[in-house]
Each structure stands twice: as C-alpha cells, then as structure tokens.
Chains A and B, each alone.
Chain A
Amino acid sequence: MNENKAKEKEHLKFVIVGHVDHGKSTLIGRLFYDTKSLPQGKMEEIEQASKELGGRIEFSFIMDHLQEEREQGITIDTAQTFFKTPRREYVIIDAPGHKEFIKNMITGASQAEAAILIVDAEEGVQEQTKRHAYILGMLGLEQVIVAMNKMDLVDFKEGRFNEVKKELEDFLSSLGISPSYVIPISAMGGDNVASNSDKMPWFSGPSILEALDTFKLTAQPTHKPMRFPVQDFYDVDGKKIFAGRVEAGIAKQGMNVVLLPSGQKTKIKSIEEFLAEPKQAEAGKSIGITLEEDAGIDRGEIVCEANPLPRTVSEFEASVFWISKEGFKEGDSIILKIATEEVPCKISKINRLIDSSTLEVISENASSLNPNEVAEVVIQTEKPVVIENFNKTPALGRFVLVKELEVSAGGIIA
C-alpha cells in the first residue's frame, strides 16, 4: 500500500486570499487557462454565462459557480479545484474576500499548505489584505507568495510595486510572516502568471507557477513523540481494537505508552490493519491498535509516547478567532473540540482583544467576543484535556469552540 502511495504524483494544496476585488478568482481562472487544465466546453460555458450577464469574459466564473456570485461578481464560498504543471498536481482553494464571509475564508485556508496573498497594485493594502494575512499567520502557513495584481493599471511601474511591497512586508513582518516571493502580475493579461512577462523587464524573479513549483509538501511529523487520539473502539474476535489516526511519531508494536488524560501506563500489543499485519504505523495513517492491558478508555483518550508527554490541564491559554455570526458573551456555555476530545468549557478570561486587521488592542479586559474578533483567552474545561503546543503537535494544538451546535471559533495553543 505504501509503495503505491510513493508512486502517486505530488499534490500541493494552496489557498488564494486577499481583499475583495483584488483578483483572486481571476488569477485562478488564468492559472487554469494557461496550464490548459480546463475541460472541453468549460470555456464555452463561461463565455455563454459572461455574455448573458452582458460583460467581457469572466475568468472568475471558473470558480464562482453560484448564480449570486456570478451576478454580483463576488465569491461567497470557498471552493476547491485541481490543475497540473509538469512538476506536480495542485489543489487550488479559492477563498472569498468579503468580511462577511470570513468563516468561509478560514475554512479554505485551514486546509492549505501554502498561500498566495493577492493585493491590488493600484488600491494597495486594504482591510481584508491584513485580516487574511493575520489568519495565515495564525494558521502557521509559512509558504506564502505575495502576488501584486493589476500591474497593468499602474503602467507596470516598478516604483508603485516597491511602494506597496514595502507597506505589506512591514505589516507581514509584524505577524512573523516573511513571504517567499513578491511577484508583480496582471492576472487578467497573464503577465508573470504562467510565464515571465516582457512588460516588466525590471523584475527578475519567478512567475507565479515557477514560484509554486518550489514549495514543499507538508511533511508528516514522524520524528516526534507518538500521539494517537482514540476515535472509537470495536470488539473484533474477542480483541478490543482502538481506531484512530496516528497524529505524530510512529506507533510500534511493543511501545510503552501512557493513556491521557486517565494516566494509565501500558504497551501497544499490536497494530491492526485489514488483511495485513504491520508492526508499525507512522503519522498520517489511520489504523487500529490493541493494548496489553484492558484499558477502560473511550473516544477522546490520547495514546502517547512519553519523553515528553503532552500537558493534561483544566485551564490553558490560547488565541481564538471568533467566526460565528453569534458572538460570545461571558457565561455562554461552549464545547471544546480538540483532536477527538470533546469537553464542555468556558472562556474564563479575555486577556487581550485584538482587531485582526489593524492589530490594535481593543480591550484588555473584555467580556464578550464579536464576529471576526481575535483574542488571547483563558479556557477552563469541565474535565482535564490533553493539549500541546501547536508547533510541536499540530493536532493537539488547534481546536474549535462549538456554541449551540455551531462551530463558532477556531483556536491555537502557542
């Protein structure tokens, strides 16, 4: 099975973000068009739809499929699609630029391993440019291209490019993001998208496609201490098999493990896979395991390799991004979902409330969170939970908060 996988072509997922109307969907259309990734008849369909709406050819219609999106010329929801270069295959995640649709943007961005932050050369850095950049930073995305679009509107001038570049780079560095490339483009005209443009001889860097091809796939954290969040268990032929996905390290037969939060110590007796008898399973793999002792554990328990163990706590600090239309008020009952753990909790303190586009501190002692606000908070859980720093074990360092059945916030433990 692993051999088959190794032969698979590489597959990089990237998201395109940025302020409304700065050209995200148009850039995607252009990437498709220039790499000849459009199926037969698609261009005709787009030409037809563009004509019905009385305009010029809209590349954005490749991703914007909803009637409301096409008629209003906006992207409402995130979408994903595929294209190829000779080097590898890509999944493009489109994300809406409007503030109202930020939760759709986060949905898209949270699934990406690289990002293109697009900014309009004429309009310069805008509110959502900054907010989206903030979210990229919070999600820990390190492979970022800044595409400075609509260079045709500023006569392809290097001076304007440098001006906006400086402004954006200053903001990004305050978020700890240093873009891998800043590329002047015209998505409409295709300049510096699939190939270099002769309209900007002053720019010697790569095109968007060349830049993307240099990015690396996110490696599974196989070299870290083993973490196996239990999803469920099954009795099969008298054996109690715990099912889940290895989130870090390598689960091995005979490995000494600690079950958290219960604290029991035992060994992995076997690794279970249908029609196979593997001796180990590395991060990323969904498998079953059996344990030496009959542990009375359930979904949400984390099977851990020691040295070091994750933290088991009932109170912790985190950054949260409130995305639900319904805000948060002191005393609201919410549920914390982290890996397979699910525990009632409350936000006991809001230490710092931050405007995600200006980075200004709005309040140091707030009692509520509104949509699109970011805060450093203290979370108190009803039962102990197992957490870890996001950079150490991503799966145990990121979580969502659920209020009244709705996923209302995303959070990172740093």
Chain B
Amino acid sequence: MGPDKGKFECCNALKTIALKQAIAEHGFKALLLGIRRDEHGIRAKERVFSPRNTDFKWNYKDQPPELWDQYKSKADEEQHIRVHPLLHWREIDIWKYIKRENIPITDLYFSGGKQRYRSLGCETCCGKVASKVRTIDEMIKELETTDVAERSGRAQDKEKAYMMQKLRTLGYM
C-alpha cells in the first residue's frame, strides 16, 4: 500500500483499517483521541464523546447532543466511543501547554533553517511549511501571527473536495 495506489485508498488502509483491526483485537470500548476543532472544518463539527457503530461509521447527520458537561458516555455493545478531550484547544494552546509543562517533543516540528512540519501524519503524504522556528517560544510567536493553515502540508486535506469527510465517515480520526 502507498499513495501511488490512490491517496484515499492509502489513507483508509493505513489508518482506518489498521485502527479497526486493533480495536477488534483488543476489544476497546473507547478511544482517547487528540483531534481539535481548529484543525479542519469537519473536525469542527465533532462531539467530545462521539459514538461509532460496528462498521466504524460516523453518523455525522445525527450526532448526540452535548449540553453543559453532560455527554453520551455510555454506548451499547455494538458501539465504541471516540473521546476528544482536547476538541476545544487550538494549535497555539498545545504549544503553550508543552512550554508550561516542559513536555519533550520530536525535532520534526522545528525548522533546520527554512522549513518545518506543522502537522505530522504518514511520512509519504506530509509536507513541510516555510518556517524559521527553532524553539517553542518562536513557535508560539509564529502561531500568533501566521495565516498558513495548520494542515496545509497534509495531502489528504487537499486531494479532493470532501475527502476528509469521506475518510472520517469511514472511521478516520
């Protein structure tokens, strides 16, 4: 499998189908995921507690209501629940938190001088963005003023209209 077989097919195989297999093997009832609303317009529509049926399908037309801090925290046997505790965070909040708590991170987010990764996924489909950022402080400064989208280096977001929606409907994170 690789993006030469088609980006949609590749994304679906490497991420969604692999995840499906892991859930089946371990019998997970809930997954904790770090997706955020500000990453993508489709993720902006997510719930904090988001159920998926056995086929993994995301029924985005009929999502559970979330009032105050009450969520759909129980699912029947046929479902698993995706839990998104960072849904309301923004990209800059992540970096401020990393700074505050002094959390170690990979160097891939930093620039060698001209470019860096803003968002990391599969190696084959991630591109760098122009940036001189070498430290977390510079990162926070860059994010305060940038008008480049976080996932602008991610091929699957741009491939075709609604590709992200279709991937997510099938179970992509």
- Are these two chains actual partners, yes or no? yes
Query: Are A40 and B70 in contact (CB-based, < 8 A)?
Result: no
Whole-angstrom distance between the Cβ of B27 and the nearest chain A Cβ: 19
B100: interface (CB < 8 Å): yes
Q: Which of A42, A67, A81, A110 contacts B165 (CB 8 A)?
A: A67
Q: Which of A67, A77, A104 contacts B162 (CB 8 A)?
A: A67
Query: Are B61 and A68 in contact (CB-based, < 8 A)?
Result: yes
* With A80-B44, A110-B68: A40-B149 Cβ-Cβ less than 8 Å: yes
A49: interface (CB < 8 Å): yes
A-contacting residues, B59-73, CB 8 Å: 60-68, 70-72
Query: Are A400 and B70 in contact (CB-based, < 8 A)?
Result: yes
Q: Which residues from A are CB-within-8-Å of B149?
A: 39-42
B-contacting residues, A106-154, CB 8 Å: 106-107, 110-111
Q: Which residues from A are CB-within-8-Å of B41?
A: 62-63, 65, 79, 81
Most chain A Cβ neighbours within 10 Å, of B67, B68, B74: B67
* With A79-B37, A82-B38, A103-B65: A4-B44 Cβ-Cβ less than 8 Å: no
CA gap between A406 and B75 in the complex, in Å: 9
* With A39-B147, A41-B152, A80-B44: A407-B64 Cβ-Cβ less than 8 Å: yes
Q: Which residues from A are CB-within-8-Å of B45?
A: 65-66, 77-79
Contact with B along A29-61 (1 / 0, CB 8 A): 000000010111110000011001000000000
Q: Which residues from B are CB-within-8-Å of A400?
A: 65, 67-68, 70
CA gap between A317 and B105 in the complex, in Å: 52
Query: Are B37 and A65 in contact (CB-based, < 8 A)?
Result: no
Query: Are B152 and A106 in contact (CB-based, < 8 A)?
Result: no
* With A65-B42, A80-B37: A40-B152 Cβ-Cβ less than 8 Å: yes
A398: interface (CB < 8 Å): yes
Query: Across the two chains, which residue of chain B brings its CB closest to A340?
Result: B69
CA gap between A210 and B51 in the complex, in Å: 40
CA gap between A327 and B99 in the complex, in Å: 49
Query: Across the two chains, which residue of chain A brings its CB closest to B44?
Result: A79
Q: Which residues from B are CB-within-8-Å of A399?
A: 70
Query: Are B147 and A107 in contact (CB-based, < 8 A)?
Result: no
Whole-angstrom distance between the Cβ of A172 and the nearest chain B Cβ: 22
Whole-angstrom distance between the Cβ of B115 and the nearest chain A Cβ: 16
Q: Which residues from B are CB-within-8-Å of A79?
A: 37, 41, 44-45
A405: interface (CB < 8 Å): yes
Q: Which of A48, A76, A323 contacts B65 (CB 8 A)?
A: A323
Tier of interface size on chain A: 35 or more
Q: Which of B42, B65, B76, B165 contacts A107 (CB 8 A)?
A: B65
Q: Which residues from B are CB-within-8-Å of A395?
A: 68
Query: Are B165 and A66 in contact (CB-based, < 8 A)?
Result: yes
Query: Across the two chains, which residue of chain A brings its CB closest to B166?
Result: A67
Q: Which residues from A are CB-within-8-Å of B90?
A: 82
A410: interface (CB < 8 Å): yes
A227: interface (CB < 8 Å): no
Query: Across the two chains, which residue of chain B brings its CB closest to A67?
Result: B162
A-contacting residues, B127-162, CB 8 Å: 147-149, 152, 161-162
A337: interface (CB < 8 Å): yes
Query: Are A66 and B148 in contact (CB-based, < 8 A)?
Result: no
A-contacting residues, B27-47, CB 8 Å: 37-38, 40-42, 44-45, 47
* With A77-B45, A407-B72: A104-B65 Cβ-Cβ less than 8 Å: yes
Whole-angstrom distance between the Cβ of A395 and the nearest chain B Cβ: 8
CA gap between A400 and B148 in the complex, in Å: 40
B88: interface (CB < 8 Å): yes
Most chain B Cβ neighbours within 10 Å, of A36, A77, A106, A410: A77
* With A49-B161, A65-B45: A81-B60 Cβ-Cβ less than 8 Å: no
Q: Which residues from B are CB-within-8-Å of A406?
A: 64, 72
Query: Across the two chains, which residue of chain A brings its CB closest to B150?
Result: A39
Q: Which residues from A are CB-within-8-Å of B67?
A: 106-107, 110, 398, 400, 407, 410
Query: Across the two chains, which residue of chain A brings its CB closest to B151?
Result: A39
Q: Which residues from B are CB-within-8-Å of A1?
A: 100
Q: Which of B38, B70, B76 contacts A81 (CB 8 A)?
A: B38
Add 18 more A-B contacts to A39-B147, A107-B66, A407-B65 (CB < 8 A). A1-B100, A4-B100, A39-B149, A41-B149, A49-B161, A65-B40, A77-B45, A81-B37, A104-B63, A107-B67, A110-B67, A400-B68, A405-B75, A407-B64, A407-B66, A407-B67, A407-B70, A407-B72
Enumerate the 5 nearest inter-chain pairs by beta-carbon distance, A residue then B residue, closest first. A65-B41, A39-B149, A79-B44, A103-B65, A400-B70
A-B contact pairs, 21 of them (CB 8 A): A36-B147, A39-B149, A42-B149, A52-B161, A63-B41, A65-B45, A65-B165, A66-B42, A66-B45, A66-B162, A67-B161, A67-B162, A76-B61, A77-B60, A82-B38, A103-B65, A107-B47, A395-B68, A405-B74, A406-B64, A407-B66
